[in-house]
Structure 1
């Protein structure tokens, strides 16, 4: 009897861990056909799409379109034509609005028959409609949130099926920034057991207790079950970063047969000596939750990364992570990715996060919409704190424009929260941006009721983070003009764009308020950080730190130019000023030479900064003004080794702290050097030299682990260099690119947003001596050779290897 029992136990153990017939997630990102413009009848299976373009997802169909400049004779009047021109000028990147169609043919796997089959879209920009075999089966009214469609009963087996997607960017005024258009995020097919399965975004993992030596982890799951049973058997496995199971238990969960779909508390776990997630050490655990059939076989399995961490907010200290005061040092940017437009490539996101981390950032506000899941996965990995934002204005025209905003928020909020709530990086929810001054918001009370309704629904799905709305406090209480807007007093966090100077007064009147500068401008960089009470505020997010398409301040600029990194990700001199602030313990000094002033005003705020450069190829006899950015005690400036002087860093004056101005510096061919000292010792140097004539091209690839998965990217930075290998910033040669091997060019970019060159193709001019070409791998591994050539310069050949996963 004992032997039989042991054999049965072994068999049950085998059945429990075998997941051969658990869920299948298959990418649908590859081999689509695309057509720009509306086409009648193209959703029908028999439609001939052979003349259409072959594309892979993610795909932004606007990025390859020509620029649409304003006509010279058009004036800014009140006509519809002029309004559209102005809207394009200021917002949507000088691209024509329109429709794009996608078609994909596929034959379902025979093993899927009898299963539950779901088509999953992470987003369609800006609104979209989905057809299967000619029938409209679903769509989206707000392209930044995902959705799924159950196609179990509509799919045809043993024959070809056709998915068709119509993506519409809507009118120019339906967004205040460049959105891109099309299937810009992942598309998947998900196959599960039809009778027992986990629903969409089923897990809710929290860490309610985090103490010295132990932490509690609670797991909840939404499960669908159509079997005649009163128990659900669920296995919970917690796996550490090394792959070790720190918890592995199977339990029976009570099940009410009258509620076929319901949320169930799965387990409450204690982890001894947990490895905590933090910005410096973003340690991740994995929860693997398995739903078992009554015979012990696997019906469904889902996994989710999570972090063990404790977050606290208080008017006394602002924000703490794991009991330690942390200042959020952040960026608020739109979701687009430079040359790639809106297309979501994880490697492009990772490259940006790595750069931001190097310069001292620890925080991102997702302005003004949910970013991709891959973005949050990478924030978890790299230790960024995220303020996760759902909307811009609560107005129909900014939420897709096809149906009233009042009809979509109750669907968007659950999708938004359930998808993102397990990410340790997400530490605050934001429901909107700069909306409290609009009387035409729903319910006509300056947003108060709309906020209350959304927050109640949000808290239905998560109560572990505070909820806010980013406000532009120039719109104060209209009756007094001295008190905060009514919406401020409703939110958990008082989030002010730009108006940090209101924090002290509002804090005295309302001591319970906690303050976060949800947008800060580059023009006031330094004061808008140091003039806050850093012991008490939560932190800040600098607006538009990476230049982007859209929100141009005038043709020929195609977008925002006030960042500290240009659109090709080259740091501008002012980036080192920010680095000196955010990386207090890293000695920094950097020279920034003032080329001209920019007095641009945007959103009632001066955002223009001085245009600067950091090269030493100047006109003989010229004099210039410059800054040395430093967090050291003092800087000595030398030209060709001769001292210009020594100046102190006035740390007691937030208006000039870490930036020392030098005027009337005479140019002499050779070099200029800044030497920073702390406590009398040299801690940092920055020298720039007069370069010779450009002789050749030099290229550097950034991805040593380039995966041959059809999605991974290689950014190759190409520079013109002189005979000594120094970058020649005055070079503007046009570079031609050729690729051989399993890769394709998906983007070409330099830092010049006034250029009329497109960000697609196989050529790009140098700007300040550099340009970047972006390669997308194919699904086969192999050697890739990139050849970069230009008239008058020696050609560069770069050999890279893409490797199988």
Structure 2
């Protein structure tokens, strides 16, 4: 009898979990949309015939498919802010046509969902968007970088077909200063919860007010809705370690005021012994699983969120500390787009970039000048990247979508922005804007001071654990005297200067409480703009545009920015190794960069152009050249075909540190080699050789764990090689790609920012001997075969299996 009773109690204990093991349904709506480029009358109506439309999957950027628009003859395609110069504005927006795209999708909500709560969740629609359900407009966005949801509980026809239609509009050329892309560029989900008890949008707020290696406090707050007549809310909290083991599990009763149906509640305050701390080198993540229980003990709703235990500190004395240790921001400021993929927010494309940045010593990303996707922040959490999370550009209606006044946006955008991102340990600073303090005619006519104060006050309603800043325009000092910082700088927690690091010493003397961060630094001054800062006291820097990108062209035929250290196909340029020598001083580096030409591009009165360099040894016989050897070693000896042409010491002066100039180097076919030494010992080598003619194509994939989830990517780099397998940089053959198996080609790219080729389709020319084709998985596992062919070379075939 005793055994039967124990068995009965055990069964009763697990019944609630069996009855409702997954109470919250999150259903991806990313697949099988019908799409049409261009406006169409009546496209929102349920009975509209879309059978002739294209079938696409989200994320999707319809603008990347548009042809290039060249400036008319004699017209200057500069980067002027003049709204009237449409063609010039197109240079900023990637020489693409502006326009409208329509998306339609049929869904049949399960009849059992009636009585529950059903939400449509859009992470973003670029640049502005409208959402229709069965012909009725139910929501939309006027600033496409920020997500939103729509409660459609009472609007759906359960057990029947419903039509979701989305109108996406890139607006006018002057409504952004960079290439934005267009369309459903981020995830779309349908969420079903209990109708009476549930967690609201972005409900958790997880903070770690006390952090040490011995002990940490984790505080969890949640916003919940309850429409029942009950005295207490019963909430279970579990903390899982990185391996999925529960390190904390407790259920508590929280007093509930029935007059406040939706409210925020302190769920738990947890003390953890010997916590594993999140850092750039060891980005350890815990998971909080918070469950809202019904009065009968069954599960009403459950949410979970990754978080890290870490402390951050800022001070004029040391800049920034993470977990009590000084850390310098070694960063990048780039736009959100992803090369050949445009604005489509593929997690794997972001991961590839973050892995590349980590490899070269970066530990920081500034999200210029808008929120990136949630998946981006998840990856920064995973890889230990410090993020300055930025909301806006200039606080001007013109650059904030252009459909409604900016004054109408920030009250809704800030809560969404902060609540979505505040639990990410990677986010260590908020930025509310960029280069706006030069505008007197901002709201309230005081150079942005009052708008900042208003926004900061609202921001602090949702998070007080990080400082708040705005990045300053390089020309925007005090309007009465250029010797003083702009008034807005004195309002911000961190003094963020774009390019003007040379003001730090003087401003520190006059205003000793200021904390300095170089929110943009230029490639042309790379080295000095790092070493000339007081690294013991500044927060650090973010180099602008380290990865070349579409948009913000300095003139046709360039389709975008070309001053990065990585080209648009993610191939490192020689100068990338100079940056690596700075950012990774503990790792010996040496690399040869041969000067081909100078670029004197000026941007915002700042010289951003760099010397164009290459690192191949196929030159004109008898020619001579100048080159750099980039190194963090003590000295470099340069050899041509084994014969030394000299030894040069590495200067410690900021302007020449880690870049050793060699002039009058005479070319001889064979090889040139740089040998770096420290304390008399060889620590690094770089050798480049004269190659013979290209003989074959070689294919290399980048994703060994390619998933059959319909979204994962495989980047395949195709390289022309000679008979010894060496890359032939002079090869510029036209390639054709063919795919067999459950995948599709979503992008083709090489490093040539001036190419007339589109980044979609199945053809691409080699550039410097290489090109990349990007494959998107379908939702079936199996073998995928990619074939790359070209005239005159042995073709290549790559077989990849998806899991």
Give yes or no for TM over 0.5: yes
Provide the C-alpha distance between the structure 1 equivalents of 2:175 and 2:748, rounded to a whole number of angstroms: 28
> How far is the alpha carbon of 1:242 from its aligned partner?
1.1
What corresponds to 1:753 in structure 2? 753
What corresponds to 1:171 in structure 2? 172
* SS of residue matched to 1:674: strand
The CA deviation string for residues 51-94 of structure 1, in whole angstroms up to 9 with x for no partner, is 111100000000011000011144689999970011112x1000
What corresponds to 1:455 in structure 2? 456
Query: Is the contact made by 1:16 and 1:296 (CA closer than 8 Å) also made in structure 2?
Result: no
What corresponds to 2:497 in structure 1? 496
What corresponds to 2:309 in structure 1? 308
Provide the C-alpha distance between the structure 2 equivalents of 1:52 and 1:541, rounded to a whole number of angstroms: 43
What corresponds to 1:796 in structure 2? 796
* SS of residue matched to 1:58: coil
> How far is the alpha carbon of 1:616 from its aligned partner?
0.2
Provide the C-alpha distance between the structure 1 equivalents of 2:248 and 2:83, rounded to a whole number of angstroms: 64
* SS of residue matched to 2:63: coil
Provide the C-alpha distance between the structure 2 equivalents of 1:681 and 1:160, rounded to a whole number of angstroms: 73
> How far is the alpha carbon of 1:106 from its aligned partner?
1.5
> How far is the alpha carbon of 1:12 from its aligned partner?
3.8
Provide the C-alpha distance between the structure 2 equivalents of 1:573 and 1:588, rounded to a whole number of angstroms: 12
Provide the C-alpha distance between the structure 2 equivalents of 1:704 and 1:684, rounded to a whole number of angstroms: 29
> How far is the alpha carbon of 1:13 from its aligned partner?
5.0
The CA deviation string for residues 596-617 of structure 1, in whole angstroms up to 9 with x for no partner, is 0000000110000000000000
Provide the C-alpha distance between the structure 2 equivalents of 1:797 and 1:546, rounded to a whole number of angstroms: 29
Name stretches of at least 5 consecutive residues in structure 1 with no aligned partner: none
What corresponds to 1:534 in structure 2? 535
> How far is the alpha carbon of 1:211 from its aligned partner?
1.9
Provide the C-alpha distance between the structure 1 equivalents of 2:285 and 2:534, rounded to a whole number of angstroms: 32
What corresponds to 1:767 in structure 2? 767
Provide the C-alpha distance between the structure 2 equivalents of 1:335 and 1:159, rounded to a whole number of angstroms: 38
Provide the C-alpha distance between the structure 2 equivalents of 1:500 and 1:12, rounded to a whole number of angstroms: 63
> How far is the alpha carbon of 1:753 from its aligned partner?
0.6
* SS of residue matched to 2:204: strand
* SS of residue matched to 1:63: helix
What corresponds to 2:476 in structure 1? 475
* SS of residue matched to 2:218: strand
What corresponds to 2:636 in structure 1? 635
Alignment of 1:119-130 (within 5 A): 119-130=120-131
> How far is the alpha carbon of 1:45 from its aligned partner?
0.6
Q: Quick check: 1:277 aligned with 2:292? A: no
What corresponds to 1:429 in structure 2? 430
What corresponds to 2:714 in structure 1? 714
The CA deviation string for residues 105-155 of structure 1, in whole angstroms up to 9 with x for no partner, is 121122222210000000000000000000000000000000000000000
The CA deviation string for residues 779-803 of structure 1, in whole angstroms up to 9 with x for no partner, is 0000000000100000000000011
Alignment of 1:606-645 (within 5 A): 606-645=607-646
The CA deviation string for residues 320-358 of structure 1, in whole angstroms up to 9 with x for no partner, is 001110001000000000000000000000000000000
What corresponds to 2:577 in structure 1? 576
* Matched residues, number: 801
Q: Quick check: 1:669 aligned with 2:669? A: yes
* SS of residue matched to 1:286: strand
Provide the C-alpha distance between the structure 2 equivalents of 1:212 and 1:754, rounded to a whole number of angstroms: 52
Alignment of 1:334-733 (within 5 A): 334-651=335-652, 653-733=653-733
Query: Is the contact made by 1:745 and 1:761 (CA closer than 8 Å) also made in structure 2?
Result: yes
Provide the C-alpha distance between the structure 2 equivalents of 1:197 and 1:75, rounded to a whole number of angstroms: 56
> How far is the alpha carbon of 1:473 from its aligned partner?
3.9
Provide the C-alpha distance between the structure 1 equivalents of 2:452 and 2:19, rounded to a whole number of angstroms: 46
* SS of residue matched to 1:450: helix
Provide the C-alpha distance between the structure 1 equivalents of 2:186 and 2:469, rounded to a whole number of angstroms: 27
Provide the C-alpha distance between the structure 1 equivalents of 2:701 and 2:63, rounded to a whole number of angstroms: 27
* SS of residue matched to 2:414: helix
What corresponds to 2:224 in structure 1? 223
What corresponds to 2:107 in structure 1? 106
Q: TM-score, normalised by structure 1?
A: 0.98
> How far is the alpha carbon of 1:21 from its aligned partner?
5.0
Query: Is the contact made by 2:37 and 2:100 (CA closer than 8 Å) also made in structure 1?
Result: yes
The CA deviation string for residues 305-324 of structure 1, in whole angstroms up to 9 with x for no partner, is 00000111110000000111
Q: Quick check: 1:211 aligned with 2:212? A: yes
> How far is the alpha carbon of 1:158 from its aligned partner?
2.3
Of residues 434-443 and 79-88 in structure 1, the stretch that sits farther from structure 2 once superposed is 79-88
The CA deviation string for residues 487-507 of structure 1, in whole angstroms up to 9 with x for no partner, is 000000000000000001101
* SS of residue matched to 1:330: strand
Query: Is the contact made by 1:112 and 1:191 (CA closer than 8 Å) also made in structure 2?
Result: yes
* SS of residue matched to 1:204: strand
What corresponds to 1:88 in structure 2? 90
Provide the C-alpha distance between the structure 2 equivalents of 1:291 and 1:13, rounded to a whole number of angstroms: 16
User: Cα distance 1:287–1:18, how it changes in 2: closer, same or farther (>3 A)?
Assistant: farther
Provide the C-alpha distance between the structure 2 equivalents of 1:774 and 1:160, rounded to a whole number of angstroms: 35
Provide the C-alpha distance between the structure 2 equivalents of 1:79 and 1:480, rounded to a whole number of angstroms: 25
Query: What is the root-mean-square deviation in Å for CA atoms of aligned residues?
Result: 1.5
The CA deviation string for residues 576-614 of structure 1, in whole angstroms up to 9 with x for no partner, is 000000001000000000000000000110000000000
What corresponds to 1:299 in structure 2? 300
Name stretches of at least 5 consecutive residues in structure 2 with no aligned partner: none
* SS of residue matched to 2:62: coil
User: Cα distance 1:496–1:119, how it changes in 2: closer, same or farther (>3 A)?
Assistant: same
Provide the C-alpha distance between the structure 1 equivalents of 2:770 and 2:235, rounded to a whole number of angstroms: 56
Alignment of 1:147-158 (within 5 A): 147-158=148-159
Q: TM-score, normalised by structure 2?
A: 0.98
User: Cα distance 1:20–1:608, how it changes in 2: closer, same or farther (>3 A)?
Assistant: same
What corresponds to 1:190 in structure 2? 191
Provide the C-alpha distance between the structure 1 equivalents of 2:33 and 2:387, rounded to a whole number of angstroms: 33
The CA deviation string for residues 716-753 of structure 1, in whole angstroms up to 9 with x for no partner, is 00000000000000100001000000000000000001
> How far is the alpha carbon of 1:14 from its aligned partner?
4.2
Q: Quick check: 1:782 aligned with 2:777? A: no
* SS of residue matched to 1:764: strand
> How far is the alpha carbon of 1:7 from its aligned partner?
4.4
User: Cα distance 1:8–1:79, how it changes in 2: closer, same or farther (>3 A)?
Assistant: closer
User: Cα distance 1:327–1:529, how it changes in 2: closer, same or farther (>3 A)?
Assistant: same
Query: Is the contact made by 2:38 and 2:100 (CA closer than 8 Å) also made in structure 1?
Result: yes
> How far is the alpha carbon of 1:272 from its aligned partner?
0.6
Provide the C-alpha distance between the structure 2 equivalents of 1:70 and 1:723, rounded to a whole number of angstroms: 43
> How far is the alpha carbon of 1:292 from its aligned partner?
0.2
The CA deviation string for residues 607-635 of structure 1, in whole angstroms up to 9 with x for no partner, is 00000000000011111000000000000
> How far is the alpha carbon of 1:19 from its aligned partner?
4.0
* SS of residue matched to 1:579: helix
User: Cα distance 1:345–1:193, how it changes in 2: closer, same or farther (>3 A)?
Assistant: same
> How far is the alpha carbon of 1:478 from its aligned partner?
1.0
* SS of residue matched to 1:201: strand
* SS of residue matched to 1:444: coil
Provide the C-alpha distance between the structure 1 equivalents of 2:435 and 2:480, rounded to a whole number of angstroms: 19
* SS of residue matched to 1:693: coil
Query: Is the contact made by 2:213 and 2:276 (CA closer than 8 Å) also made in structure 1?
Result: no
Provide the C-alpha distance between the structure 2 equivalents of 1:328 and 1:135, rounded to a whole number of angstroms: 48
Query: Is the contact made by 2:81 and 2:89 (CA closer than 8 Å) also made in structure 1?
Result: no
* SS of residue matched to 2:789: strand
> How far is the alpha carbon of 1:541 from its aligned partner?
0.2
Provide the C-alpha distance between the structure 1 equivalents of 2:205 and 2:104, rounded to a whole number of angstroms: 35
